[in-house]
Structures are given as C-alpha cells and as structure tokens.
Amino acid sequence: MSFQGELTDFSDGYLSGWVCDATRLQERVVVEIHGDDYPLALIHAHFWLPQSQTIGDGCYGFRVALPVSKLRGISRLRAKVANSEFWLNGTIYLNRTQTRPTSTLLGSVANTRGLKLTGWAWNSARPDQAVRLSVFVDDKLIGEIHADRRRTDLIEMGLGNGRHGFSYTLPFAYADGDSHEVRVLNEQGQNLPGSPLTVATAPLLLEQLVEADRMLLPDQRRLLAKQFLKYRDYLPMSVDFSAYPDWAACYQPEAIRTPIDCQQDLLIVVFGDGDLQKTLDSLASQSWRGFEVLAQGQGNFADSRLTVVDSRTWPEAIRHKLSQHDGLLSFIEAGDTLPESALARIGSVFADPAVRIAYSDCLLHRQPSTIEPWFKPNWDLNLFLSQDLLQHLFAVRSGLLPLDSVWLDHPECWPWLAVRALPDRERTASAIKHLPEVLYHRHQASLSPALDEAVAECLPAIAPGSRIETRIAENAFRVMRWRQPEIWPTVSLIIPTRDHRILLEKCIESLKKTDYPYLEIIVVDNDSQDKATLKYLSQLKKAGIRIIPYPHRFNYSAINNHAVTLATGEIIGLINDDIEAIHADWLKNMVTQLLRPDIGAVGAKLLWPNGMVQHGGVLLGLHGLAGHIGNLWDESDLGYFGYNQLIREVSAVTAACLICRKSDYLALGGLDAQAFPVAFNDVDFCLRLGDSGKKIVWTPEAKLWHAESASRGRDDTPEKRARLEKEKSALRGRWANRLFFDPYYNNNLNLDRYSHDGLAFPPRTRRHR
C-alpha cells in the first residue's frame, strides 16, 4: 500500500485532513487521531476536501470534532492510518500560538431531478453563518443562493448550527433538452464540491405555457412560475393514448400542415381493393402538388396527374410507369388516407442526398371508434424483420427498386426490395430516415400472401441465417429465428457476491441446468464474512467453479473488470447473484444473437418474481435519466406493437445479465470504475460500445428471474445517496445530449412513468440543431 495525506487544519474544535491509498483509490481509509500518542478518535476519510481534489474522485478528506474535555493536557495532535505505521504529514501543536487557519469550504451540490439543485455549504472560518453562493449556467450568472436551510445530517455531523443546506431551481428556459454546464461558487470564487455539473432535462410544459403567455406581466409570470414549481412533481408530463385526438390537434398539425418545398418528382401508387375514392380525395387535398398518381381500379381525381388502371392490366401498367420514372416512389393502399402535408414532408427528407429510404409514424384505425398511434423508433433491422417497420408512410428513390422483380406490381413488397438493394454499409439510420410524425392513416389491415413470399425471398440477402419461425397476433408480427453456430465459443459468466449465500445458491443451481456446452462460471467474492457463505464458496470451488477473491470496497465496475482479465472465455457474461435462469437454452439464444454481424452486446428479458417484466432494455431519458423498458408489461403481453416479444435494438441493456465479446470489453477499458462504481456503468458501457460501431440487442428468447437490488440493497443511506447523485451527474455530463432523444424510442412517447405508456406532453424537440 502507498499512503499519502496530511493534517490540514484545527479550529473551533474541528480537526481536518485527508489521506488516500494511491494504489487503491476506490478504497476509503480509516484514520486514527492521536493526542500525545494516545488514541482519541477513529474517522473514515471519505469527505470531499479541496486539498485532495486532484486525486481520484477527491473524496478522501475527514473532519472530526474533538471536545475540549478530550484535549486537556494534550500538547499535540497527530493522525495515522488505522492498523498501519503510516503517519500523516503535519502536526498540530496545541500549546503554541496558532496562525489564523485558512477557511475550508465544505459541502456539495447535485442535480437531483429536472432543473433542481440541492446541497449544502459550510465555511469553517464562519461556522454559524450562511455561505452565499453564486450560480452560473454556461458561464452566465443567473442567481444567488444563501445556504441557510436546516439539515439534520449536518447537525449530526456537528457542522455549525446545521442550517447550511440549500435548494435552487434553474430558470425553466434551460429545460430545452440540451446539456448545460452549471457552476456554483462561493464569495471567493471557489467551486462548491460537485461543481461544475451538467444539467439536462426535457422541455417542461407548464413553464413553457407561462413563458409563452405574453398577456402576463413580468411579475405575474414570475409568481405563476413559482406556483408551478410547487406542483410539478404532482403533474404528469404525458397524457394517455385515449387523448390522442386532442393531443394531435395541439401538436401534430405544426408538423404536417406546413408545406415544405420538395424538389423531387414523386410518383405515388394506389393499389388494393379498398375505398379508392376516399384515398384519392385525401391526395387531392395535399398541400404540395409536385406528384402524380397511378391508381388501380376506378375513381375520380379532378387532375391530369392521375392515371387509373384497370386491375387486369395493372402488372404491365405499373412496370411500364416505373421504368419511365426517375425520382421518388411511394404507395398507399386504397381506403387509407394521408394528412394534407404528408407528401411534402416525406419528400422533403430526400433533400439530403444520403437518404435513400424514408418512413413515418402512422395512425391505425382499429375500429370505427378506436384509433392507435404507432410511434416508431429509428431504423432497426430487427423490428423491420418482425413487423414491416417501413410501411405506412414509405418513400424510396426509384433506383433502388429492381425493375425485373416479380414483386414490382405489389407495392407492399417495395420496402423489402429496397432494403435488399442497399449495400450492408448503407443499412443505417442515415440512409433509412425516420420522420417521427403521423403521416399515414391506416383504415384497414389487409393480409398479403405476396408480401410473405417476397420476405422469404429477400431474407437470405438482408439477414443471412435468419428464418421466420412463427407469427403472433393474427399474422401481425413475425418471430424470427437465427442459425446457431456449428462450434459454440466459450462463455465466462462472472457473478460478484458478498454474504448472499441463499441468492447465490439459487443463481448457481439455475445456471447448472444451462445446456451451453462450454461454460466457465466465475464467482467473485467481495470479502464475504458470513460463515455459511464462506462454506458454500468452498463447496463451489471443490465442484470446479472458480472463486476469485476481491477483498476491497464494493465497486461493481472494478470487480467485473478484475474478473474479466482472469476469464478464459471468448465471450463474457455479467450476471448478478440475484438472477435465476428459467430455461436451459437462455444462453444459447443470447450467444446466437451476439455472433451476428456488428452486434456488440446482448441483454435478456428479466422478470420480477410476480411475472412482470423488470427489464426489456434500457430507455434513455426515462424518469429524467435512464430506466428499464417494459415494467408495465406481463411476461406474456405483446407490449407496445409487439415490443415485449420481439428481438430489437436498444441503446443499452442492464449488466444484471449482459453478454459481450471479451475483446470488445477490453478494447473499451471495461466498465468505468472511476465515474460509475455502482450505478449506470452498464448504460455508459453500452453507449461507448455503440459509439464504436456495435449494436446493442435485447432478446425475449432469454428469460430469467431477477430480484432487483436484492444483492446490494437500496441507496438508502446518506453515503449511498451521495454516491448515486455523483453517478447521475457523471452520466449527464458524459451523455446529456442523448438522454432525451433515444433513437430507439419516439419523441412523441412519454418519459415520466412506465415506458410506452402515453403521449409526451409536450413532444420532445431539440431547440438547437
């Protein structure tokens, strides 16, 4: 061990200093305070002090009260690391005239939620006075705080009179979905511990309404805004799907009624045996006129741009028309309708030459009185394979459709033909562009045998090794299966644990039933003390399971990083000890997904003991930061448009059950043990993995029980809460610009409660591009 530290100050009965182990910065040292070589007190060095801010996370300070009764007859104070011979630099002599000590600023600031800052500040030179703080956002002074609120934890620590807390809400203009740097400084210009920090929050509707109401006088606006702050936590940031008509009247018209110039020639094909006239009427009302129509059947369209073709000559007519057209192509089924600026919006996307295909959200009219908006994610190959993601409204550059295809006269097959024609490297969200707007109203859901045949033909080129296993929900969704490898790579499952014999035993026994042929199970013992646990670990070792000791302070990231370096498997599996496998083939199903091209990590469907979904992937922005998808769904539910039963891409998956290649893990440096010792390390890892060009996949084919937080417990102590707030701040600081715009979630869907549980109120839009 390599210790360093010193005593820094003694004033008003408080002794301060800092110490750390330079080789184990994640540890917190216990310090013995000595008076003339007699032990006076023990204290943990885990406080933030300016003197240690350049080392590790800076939280290596200590401050201890030494009553006068303890100091009688004492001439000097010293400090040493407990159970060692290392003495801290510096000696405090009590029988000498002391120079006036330098004031020490203690405290912290955190962004607990939304725009709210909370914390405390205390100056040792003025122990009973409130510290005045200045708040800067993006280097602009926006307000002052007096840290004068009573906090019981400060009273318990003996800091002044305990009235040194504060709470401050930033102006709601900063609720714009962007990241903002916030600094909180004292009178001397010193940063309060925790400052600077990053604040990012989605737009707040109530505050926006107040700001937009120009009829209000400035004083009235400020008064109303303050009242809203009191009730924000009780008001939803979303509305139910049942309110869609009213919601759409407020927000969707701005997106779909304003004509946008489109320089592309667009041919829209109308086909099928539905109400053709209804569809033609909606086309006649389009705000942009730069398109022509080819329709199958009979109908009236008071415009020379319409060509109506009898069904008997349809195949020849559509092929002839497409061979002459050089521009954009789209289609609509007879009986369906388009909002008045749908074609202008879909056409305008192609002003970007990189865009080859575009698609929009759509509204399903299930019954005369039932409507359901399908707000889609950005391009996801997995969902496309399972549910025709690109249909309704779809547009494509004409050059992507092969004129010799037998499916050319079946426009519903065009998305598959177009995706097949794209090179693999262009099957990205840049080339396949999603518009998060309802540009199509689907009034009937017809089945297409031709589409099924076209899908079967295109699959080998689009997704080699895949096949359609079955269908669910009346032919609406395809359940895909992928070819398993001929030789399975070795998987090392890493299970951290500490004194949880019962949980660990259930986990291990379930894993023993796994039918994976090459499996290494590694249990990392984080300094267990329980005799029953130690006995069980000994039994596991005799049974051939590797036991790796990690006798240090709990740091989930560091524990796994250490174990990965010792693992022999080509694939790493991170598993919590409160996980239980349900089916023997769970790991084969996950590895099959991981071995697909460009897949970086795979997560599983995790269930609470009551059968509800605990984890269906990670959604960025949920509850203001990140959260689990699917907590509202039962295991057997379809979920939002089948999402609970379909393989799909996500931004991240939980490390409670995650597999990845060892080479990828090491290339990224593993989990970030410094910034995310306990929470959000998996989110950060997956986002970094995504930035490296790899995809994160969640599969419902691997189902496991998860007693969430049973292992490490809740963040219910001041130290744990402080650590969690620091990790939240680190996540915001690193990924703030993505937190409210998850590409696998639609900006029109809610983030304030369960995922896919309502309409965002208001929809999230970026103010700065």
End-to-end Cα spacing for the chain: 50
Q: Residues of CATH 2.60.40 domain(s) within the chain? A: 3-93, 105-201
For 108, 189, 192, 487, 620, the CA distances from 197, given in Å and listed in that order, are 11, 16, 10, 49, 19
- Preceding peptide of 762 cis, ω within 30°: yes
Report how far residue 415's alpha carbon sits from residue 393's, in angstroms, rounded to the nearest whole number. Answer: 11
Q: How many degrees, rounded to 5, is the angle at CA 307 between CA 265 and CA 277? A: 105
Low-confidence ranges of the chain (pLDDT < 70): 1, 12, 48-54, 57-58, 68-69, 95-105, 112-114, 152-153, 156-158, 172, 177, 202-237, 252-264, 298-306, 309-311, 368, 473-475, 708-721, 766-769
Q: Packing angle between helix 449-462 and helix 414-421, nearest 10 degrees?
A: 10
Q: What is the pLDDT of residue 624?
A: 79
Strand partners, 303: none
What CATH architecture is 491-760?
Alpha-Beta Complex (3.90)
Cα separation, 587 vs 592, whole angstroms: 8
Q: Which residue has the tokens 């509800």?
A: 612
Under 8 Å between Cβ of 5 and 18: yes
Please write the tens of the pLDDT for every residue from 600-659.
Answer: 999 999 999 888 999 999 999 888 789 999 998 988 888 899 899 999 999 999 999 999
Extract the tokens encoding 534. 């130690």
- Using the 8-state DSSP alphabet, how is residue 272 labeled? S
State how far the Cα of 483 lies from the Cα of 521, in Å rounded to an integer.
25
| Residue type for position 737 | N
The two tokens of residue 259 are 């004509």
pLDDT at residue 52, rounded to an integer:
59
Does the domain at 249-482 match CATH 3.90.550.10? Answer given as: yes
Strands 14-21 and 3-11: antiparallel
- The whole-model pTM stands at 0.77
For the chain, give every residue range classified as CATH 3.90.550.10.
249-482, 491-760
> Which option is the CATH number for 105-201: 3.40.50, 3.10.450, 2.60.40, 3.40.1000?
2.60.40
Q: Tell me the C-alpha distance between 698 and 689, whole Å.
A: 15
* CA-angle at 678, arms to 616 and 602, nearest 5°: 30
pLDDT at 686: 96
Topology of the domain covering 3-93: Immunoglobulin-like (2.60.40)
What sections of 238-328 are H helices per DSSP?
Answer: 244-256, 276-284, 314-324
Nearest to 394 by CA among 488, 305, 328: 328
Q: Which residue has the tokens 């060892």?
A: 662
What one-character-per-residue DSSP string does 33-52 give? EEETTEEEEEEEE-B--GGG
Name the burial class of residue 147, with classes exposed (0-12), middle (13-18) and buried (19+) by CB atoms within 10 angstroms of its CB: buried
Q: Would you state the structure tokens that stand for residue 762, as one six-digit string?
A: 């208001």
Please tell me the distance from the alpha carbon of residue 111 to that of residue 729, in angstroms, as a whole number: 7
Percentages of the chain per state (helix, strand, coil), in multiples of 5: 30, 30, 40
Rounded Cα–Cα distance for residues 488 and 492 (Å): 12
Rounded distance, CA 4 to CA 43, Å?
A: 16
The reported pLDDT for the residue numbered 262 is 52
Nearest CA-CA partner of 393 in 376, 407, 381, 406: 376
Which regions of 391-535 does DSSP assign to beta strands (E)? Answer: 394-397, 432-442, 466-472, 477-482, 491-497, 519-525
Packing angle of the helix pair 205-212, 218-231 (nearest 10 deg): 170
- Angstrom distance (rounded) from CA 444 to CA 362: 12
What is the model's pLDDT at position 648? 95
Total length of the chain? 769
Q: Could you give phi then psi for residue 544, rounded to 5 degrees?
A: 100, 5
Q: Please spell the DSSP secondary structure of 352-404, one letter per residue.
A: STT--EEEEEEEEEEETTEEEEE---S--HHHHHHH-TT-SSEEEEGGGS-TT
Task: Please answer whether residues 3 and 81 qualify as being in contact, where contact means their C-beta atoms are separated by less than 8 angstroms.
Answer: yes
43 and 91 in contact (C-beta within 8 Å)? no
